[in-house]
A = this chain, B = another copy of it.
Amino acid sequence: MAVYTEVNDDDLARFIDGYGVGRLLSYKGIAEGVENTNYLVHCERGTFILTLYEKRVDPDDLPFFLGLMDHLAAAGVTCPLPVRDREGHHLNELSGRHAALVTFLDGVWPRKPKVEHCRELGAALAAMHLAADGFRLKRANALGVSGWRPLFAKFADRADDILPGLQTLITRELDDLEQHWPRDLPQGVIHADLFPDNVFFIGEKLSGLIDFYFACNDQLAYDIAVCLNAWCFSSDFSYDAAKGRAIIEAYDAVRPLTDGERAALPMLARGAATRFLLTRGYDWLHTPANALVARKDPFDYVRRLRFHQSATSIATYLGAERA
C-alpha cells in the first residue's frame, strides 16, 4: 500500500522513450501491491502500469513472471501484457530497480465478492490453467508443501505470542500435510495468489487477472484451494457454500476435475490455509506495528484451517453433504 521508490521525471521520460509508446503525459504512484512500487503511467499511445521490483522479488524470477503474462495474453487471457522496448526486452532498469511496463487493465476488484463473481472467477481460473499449457519456463513453488516447515522454523518459538496454542496447531498440521499431501494430481502453472484484489470486474463481468508474482508450477487444483480460502469466507469466518460451489462448478465446466483432484480438495484447502497462516504469522512478528504496510491478521487463517480440518469431502465445499 505504498510507493517505495520515487522516480525522477527526467529518468522516467528517458525510460518511456525506449518503448515507442509516445511521450510521457503523466504518472502517479498508486497505492496497490505490497511487494513492489507501482505507477500508473499515461503516454500518448496508451495507459500502462510501471512496476519497479523491490528487494523481496528475486530478479531471476522476473523472466518467468513477464514471460508468463506474455504467453497468457497471447493465449487469450485478459491479463497485463508486458510491453517490449525498441530492442525487444521486457525488463529494464529505472531508479536502481529492475522495472517493467505492462498494459493497464480496466476493472475494479470486488471488496465484497458475490456468488456471481465467484462463478466468473472459477471459469477464468480454469481458462488460465489451460492457456498456460505450453509455457516453457519453470518456477518451483517456494511456498509449496516443502517450504512450509522451513518457514515455520523461523518463528515457531514465538508462534504462541500470536495466539496461545498456535505452535502445536501448526506443528500437528504440518505433520498431517506432509504425510497426506497429494503428489500425483495434474500439474501446470498456477497463479497461487488469486485473492479478490487480483481479479478485476466491470459490473459482474470479469475483466482481468493481475499480479502473477507468486505464479509457479504446482498441482493445478491447489489454485482452487487458494480461491476457496480467499473468496468464500464471510467476515464472521463462516464458509459460504454457494460461493464455493460457484467456483468449483464453473471451473469444472471449463476444465473437468479428475477424481483425484475432487478427493484431494479438503487436504489442498488445509494446505492453502496453512500457507497463508504461515506467511501472515511470520509477517505479523516481523512487521513493526507502525509500518507503512498494514499487517494482515493471521487469526483469519486459523479459523479457515479449522473449518477445512472438519471437511469430509468435496461435498463440504459444494454445500451438498446431505445430498
Contacts and interface: CB of A to CB of B under 8 A. Distances in A.
How many chain A residues sit at the interface, stated as a range, is 20 to 34
B28 A32 contact: yes
A201 B13 CA distance: 12
A40 B24 CA distance: 17
A129 B23 CA distance: 31
Nearest to A12: B108
B30 A40 contact: yes
Given A10-B112, A30-B40, A290-B290, A107 B25 contact: yes
Contact of A2 (B2, B13, B26): B2
A200 interface: yes
Contacts of A23: 202-203
Given A111-B10, A202-B23, A290-B290, A106 B42 contact: yes
Please tell me how many copies of the chain the complex holds: 2
A53 to B, nearest CB: 18
Given A110-B9, A112-B10, A28 B31 contact: yes
A26 B292 contact: no
A265 interface: no
A8 interface: yes
A24 B108 contact: yes
Nearest to A6: B111
A163 interface: no
The 7 closest A-B pairs by CB, nearest first: A29-B31, A25-B106, A28-B30, A3-B31, A26-B106, A290-B290, A9-B108
Interface of A: 1-3, 8-10, 12-13, 23-32, 40, 42, 105-112, 200, 202-203, 288, 290, 292
